[in-house]
């Protein structure tokens, strides 16, 4: 066992080596307290950035023809089950579409709902050739709907300057395409404001 003087000398030398920047007076002051806190400065860990998985660009999607529907698949009967699924989805979303349901509440939910599978009709348009087109929405883009008609024809109908109607369980809703220029994913997060009159 070391004597007290040897212990003091050892501790003083240890502190001097551990903290070379500290003056002797400060070390002596620490020793008089009889409790020494040895500070430890850990090395800062550099955070590794996670690599984000990049999807296809718009150009690559066009080149791969990911969103194109093959001509042999352009048949109205093929997509009728999709329409039945859509009807069930809307009934669940609107809690049954009961007769006493408030129209503005249903309308607000339909504005944010996924319309793939809905049967819509162009009721008004600045281009007369679009009026009367009825079919199932197969694809919704920012500016257009792709609709398959009962005649098995795929129609690309612009949203701008067109009014669409959709009917479900006796409830008819009107979609003003000019105020609907959004992707389906963006539409679900948007807050729509009620307006008294809307022009084409």
Please write the tens of the pLDDT for every residue from 74-88.
999 999 999 999 999
Q: Is 24 helix (H, G, I), strand (E, B) or coil?
A: helix
Q: What angle do CA 185, 188, 193 make, to 5 degrees?
A: 130
Which residue has 């509440």 as its token pair?
105
The token pair that represents 14 in the structure block: 């240890």
Count of CA atoms in the C-beta half-sphere (13 A) of 133: 26
For residue 126, pLDDT over 60 is answered with: yes
- Give domain 73-189's CATH number out of 3.90.1150.10, 2.40.128.20, 2.30.30.210, 3.40.190.10: 2.30.30.210
Cβ count within 10 A of residue 92: 9
Q: Structural domain boundaries of the chain? A: 1-32, 73-189
pLDDT of residue 25: 77
The token pair that represents 188 in the structure block: 């679900």
pLDDT of residue 157: 94
pLDDT band of residue 124 (cuts 50, 70, 90) is very high
pLDDT band of residue 194 (cuts 50, 70, 90) is low
The whole-number average pLDDT for the span 10-16 is: 78
pLDDT of residue 137: 94
């Amino acid at each position: 066992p070391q004597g007290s003087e040897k212990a003091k000398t050892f501790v003083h030398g240890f502190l001097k080596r551990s903290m070379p920047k500290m003056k002797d007076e400060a070390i002596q002051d620490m020793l008089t307290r009889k409790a020494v806190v040895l500070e430890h400065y850990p090395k800062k860990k550099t955070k590794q950035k996670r690599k984000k998985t990049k999807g296809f660009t718009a150009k690559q999607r066009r080149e791969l023809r990911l969103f194109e529907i093959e001509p042999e698949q352009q048949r109205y009967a093929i997509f009728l089950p999709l329409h039945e699924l859509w009807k069930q989805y809307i009934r669940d979303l609107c809690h049954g579409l009961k007769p006493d349901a408030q129209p503005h509440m249903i309308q607000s939910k339909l504005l944010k709902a996924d319309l793939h599978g809905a049967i819509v009709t162009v009721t008004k348009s600045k281009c007369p050739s679009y009026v009367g087109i009825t079919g199932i929405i197969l694809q919704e883009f920012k500016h257009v709907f792709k609709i398959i008609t009962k005649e098995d024809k795929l129609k690309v109908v612009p949203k701008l300057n067109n009014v669409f109607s959709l009917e479900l369980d006796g409830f008819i809703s009107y979609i003003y395409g000019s105020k609907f220029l959004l992707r389906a994913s963006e539409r679900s997060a948007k807050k729509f404001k009620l307006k008294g009159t809307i022009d084409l």
